[in-house]
Amino acid sequence: MRGRVALLVAGLLAGAAALAQPAAPTAQELRPVLQHHAALVHATYADTLTLAQRLQQTVQRFVRAPSAEALANARHSWLQARERYALTEAFRFHGGPIDGDDGPEPRLNAWPVDETYIDALIARRRQPISKRTLSALNTRDGEENVATGWHAIEYLLWGQDLSADGPGDRPHTDYVDGRAANADRRRLYLATVTALLVDDMAWLEQAWAPARANYRRRFESGDQGSLRGLIVGLGSLSRAELAGERLEVALASRDQEDEQSCFSDSTHRDIVGDALGIQNAWLGRYVRLDGQRLEGPALRQLVAARDPALADRLTVQMAESLQAAEAIEPPFDREILGGSDAPGRQRIKRVIDALLRQSASLVEAARALGIQKLNWVRKP
Amino acid sequence: MALLLAAALAGAALGQAAIEDQRPGGATTVEVDGRRAFSLAAANLTAEEQTRFAVGNSFFRRNWVAAPASTGARDGLGPLFNARSCSGCHVNDGRAAPGEAGLLLRLSVPGRDAHGGPLPEPRYGGQLATQAIPGVPVEGRLLMTEQALHGRFADGMRYTLQSPRYRLAALSHGPLDRQALLGPRIAPQLIGLGLLEAIAEADIEANAAAQAARGDAIRGQANRVWDAPSGQQRIGRFGWKANVATLAHQTAAAFAGDMGITSRLFPQTDCTAAQHACLAAPNGGAPEIEDDVLAEVVFYAATLAPPLRRDVGDAEVQRGQQLFQRAQCAVCHRPSYTTAQAPFPRLSSPALAGQAIHPYTDLLLHDMGEGLADGRPDFLANGRQWKTPSLWGLGLIQGVNGHQRLLHDGRARGVLEAVLWHDGEARASRAQVLAMSRAERQALIRFVESL
């Protein structure tokens, strides 16, 4: 009897402790999760690098011999590489390599693009075009003065999107001497920014490569700080970036300028990629370019060990976000138009609502893991 | 026993104070450093407010284009302008450096306008436009030369300050008025502006009264300025001479003056009667920025959050804090306030009210001596007076903007040079810093950079 009371008290105490003081994971519990996450990040960056290199090959073929077919090939490889890159955005917003002081994010992914800025750089014949000069000119004197990255390349491949129901329709002759002014410099510009993008993707892949003295090593041994970074990254992308900057802003302005991949009309795929990237990190699951499946211990298990219902809810919410994102009908710049009852706007609203629910649950998940401060993580 | 308990309680209170002291913006404070240190929303906004912040941010960074254009939402740039977007000067919501678009030149002639503000220069208006839309001549270029000023600390260590001289070139409409007054102004970082706006006028007046009661050289004075949105005179708190009272006025004036974007508050572009091409240029509708869009940009500027302090427990930083007090820096750089309500509730957030904040400013004007004087009055501010700027976030400018150029025209290369430029009312404080040892100066800088 006495023994049973003691047991009961111990049980109550354990219960009270779990309620009052969320248990931070032990190093033993945490280490495999961080290691698997790092492997997943590296695999995603490595696959994106592979696709960026394919993009570079098609761009090189196009600038050597511009043709409608070569341009179509370059556009196709841009779309494939871009879709993979979107998955990596789940690794942003916590001071990791992509966003660090030397990180390439502004050079890789700045948007919206003021097209006239790139046109002016190409037209200014005395302006040297090199990786170094274009890097220095990127976002100089204004955040929309974008000279480099995915969306600069996108503009160079598609041109302005002036059609209602399709993407930009730049003719390949923009790259043919005698057919368009400064075709030679446009070719050089496109080749240069594409090469720069490959460099930056390679740098990211290296920062997460295994068995090096790099960021990954610090991340894997970073314990609670790394875990916090992982969650803050997923939460920030869900709420502030995807629901906020990418969707709510576009709904509010109804302006094509607020569409991320506006030249190629592929913004809907950016949104799906972001949602899928978040889900990948949560589940610890990633299907590689070659079909190989990565699976292992992930954030979900850590949360489930403390609050199984919360973990299940998050799993469902992330699936709902992804499903809602996949329901957006391209082109995105048409989807945001109309009154509040327009079907396109309602489809986007459903994505926002799903993301907000998922963000609120991520905050709960962080609390359950003993993490209180959630707005940012400084570099480790 | 009672003594022990009291000591323990005092210790606890001190501990609480230390934690509060880490959070310059109270509950709005965000933990961030690096490139985005000045770009995050107040931590305590509601979901709806986060949306407003995101929408405002979109228009803040947006490049405006010349009218007519295929986009109606963002045309109306110019005819004369200094930048195409807010972020053109406040890069990453941060601070500009000399040589960038974010160093602009205000122009005036002696006298006052109908509201008591400066009289614009007759041919070029209130500021030099260094860019223009096609077909309209650019007003001119700002050239700067620097003269080295040498000095020594008491311990024999030498220092060199750079004193800038300004000159105009390639003026489009002939020379400036012979009595023209030039006021160079650097674009500052934008964190915590809504909190500064929510400081009670009575607190600012109390600062002036407390300083007057000291009986020494420090004697701050509130600026009283015309506020267009409220249509009345208010205490000024924004701008290098506290010549603007509210963020709504500041933002609308910057759209009009810096980008040539008209609004209901500022329906005129800065074309003078002499500038025919400017007057004849097409506009982007009247007004060019609608009230609802302007409101979101104002909200955005109001809710950019001050970041958490760094190294608060560091012994050198704490030593620097003592030196900061001892040198009387805190008399003008007043550390703490509790915020009241914002002047226009719809353009701010309730999340900013009632916060214990630590901006380190009295929001008052001070005579800073001849070396810093620009000789250009602005409302009640005379040519030698400058508003005490807030110090929060100073140590993060390097990470955001890649430099640490301080003071009204960015002449100071770092905290110590900025201190050494202090003169006039701050002469005694500067003398104390000159007498400090190298280790003490280092500690003082560490403290200021931790804020």
DSSP string, B312-347: TT-HHHHHHHHHHHHTTHHHHS---EE----SSGGG
Chain A residue numbers with beta carbons less than 8 Å from the beta carbon of B100 are 141
Coil, helix or strand at residue B102 = coil
Task: Name the pLDDT band for B365 (thresholds 50, 70, 90).
Answer: very high
Residue-level pLDDT at B2: 39
| Closest Cα in chain A, distance from residue B147 (Å) | 27
Q: Which residue has the higher pLDDT, A373 or B92?
A: B92
Task: Name the pLDDT band for B87 (thresholds 50, 70, 90).
Answer: very high
Using a CB–CB cutoff of 8 Å, tell me whether A377 touches chain B: yes
pLDDT in tens, B127-149: 999 999 989 999 999 999 999 99
Q: Which two tokens stand for residue A374?
A: 């959630």
Query: Does the beta-carbon distance from B58 to A373 stay under 8 Å?
Result: no
Q: CA-CA distances (angstroms) from residue A133 to A137, A202, B193?
A: 6, 20, 35
Q: CA-CA distances (angstroms) from residue B234 to A177, B131, B244, B347?
A: 62, 32, 9, 17
Whole-number percent of chain A with pLDDT over 70? 92
Kindly report the three-state secondary structure assignment for every residue of B115-139: CCCEECECCCECECCCEECCCCCCC
Return the residue matching tokens 């009852």. Answer: A341
| Closest Cα in chain A, distance from residue B63 (Å) | 6
Q: CA-CA distances (angstroms) from residue B41 to B27, B346, B351?
A: 12, 17, 11
Give the helix/strand (H/E) hosting B258: helix B247-259
Most confident of A321-330, B26-35, B272-281: A321-330
pLDDT in tens, B177-194: 999 999 999 999 999 999
Residue-level pLDDT at A142: 84
Residue-level pLDDT at B8: 35
Phi, psi of B423 (to 5 degrees): -150, -160
| CA of residue B141 relative to chain centroid, distance | 23
Chain B residue numbers with beta carbons less than 8 Å from the beta carbon of A252 are 51, 55, 296
Q: Which residue has the higher pLDDT, B350 or A114?
A: B350
Q: Which two tokens stand for residue A238?
A: 């869900």
Query: Does the beta-carbon distance from B88 to A141 stay under 8 Å?
Result: yes
Chain A residue numbers with beta carbons less than 8 Å from the beta carbon of B54 are 240, 244-245, 248-249
- Using the predicted structure, report yes or no on whether residue A14 has a pLDDT greater than 80: no
pTM here is 0.88
Q: What is the mean pLDDT of chain B?
A: 92
- Using the predicted structure, report yes or no on whether residue B213 has a pLDDT greater than 80: yes
Residue-level pLDDT at B31: 87
Q: Which of B67-71, B158-162, B328-332 has the lowest mean pLDDT?
A: B67-71
Residue-level pLDDT at A17: 40
Residue-level pLDDT at B71: 60
Whole-number percent of chain A with pLDDT over 90? 79
Residue-level pLDDT at B20: 53
Using a CB–CB cutoff of 8 Å, tell me whether A235 touches chain B: no
Residue-level pLDDT at B279: 92
Task: Name the pLDDT band for A229 (thresholds 50, 70, 90).
Answer: very high
- Using the predicted structure, report yes or no on whether residue B7 has a pLDDT greater than 50: no
Distance, CA of A342 to CA of A323 (rounded, Å): 19
B/e letters for A65-88, b = 16+ CB within 10 Å, e = fewer, are: ebeeebbebbbebbbbbbbbbbbb
Average pLDDT on A91-115 reads 90
Question: Residue A367's closest CA among A302, A277, A288?
Answer: A302
Asked if B383 contacts B179 with a C-beta cutoff of 8 angstroms, the reply is: no
pLDDT in tens, A30-46: 999 999 999 999 999 99
Q: What is the mean pLDDT of chain A?
A: 91
Residue-level pLDDT at B438: 97
Average pLDDT on B46-61 reads 91
Alpha helices in A176-266 (DSSP H): 183-207, 215-220, 223-236, 249-253
Distance, CA of B355 to CA of B374 (rounded, Å): 35
Asked if ipTM goes beyond 0.95, one says no
Q: Which of A100-104, A278-282, B95-99 has the lowest mean pLDDT?
A: A100-104
Which of B55, B297, B299, B309 is the best residue to mutate to test the A interface, defined by the most A CB atoms within 10 Å of its own CB? Answer: B55
Residue B415: Cβ within 10 Å count: 20
Task: Name the pLDDT band for A380 (thresholds 50, 70, 90).
Answer: very low
| Closest Cα in chain A, distance from residue B437 (Å) | 33
Using a CB–CB cutoff of 8 Å, tell me whether A159 touches chain B: no
Max distance between CA atoms of chain B, in angstroms, equals 84
Task: Name the pLDDT band for A22 (thresholds 50, 70, 90).
Answer: low
Q: What is chain A's alpha carbon radius of gyration, rounded to the nearest angstrom?
A: 23
Residue-level pLDDT at B3: 37
Amino acid at B287: P
Q: State the Cα torsion B142-B147-B152-B153 to the nearest 10°.
A: 0
Chain B residue numbers with beta carbons less than 8 Å from the beta carbon of A248 are 51, 54-55
Average pLDDT on A298-320 reads 98
- Using the predicted structure, report yes or no on whether residue B74 has a pLDDT greater than 90: no
Amino acid at B142: L
Average pLDDT on B434-442 reads 98
pLDDT in tens, B294-331: 999 999 999 999 999 999 999 999 999 999 999 999 99
Coil, helix or strand at residue B232 = strand
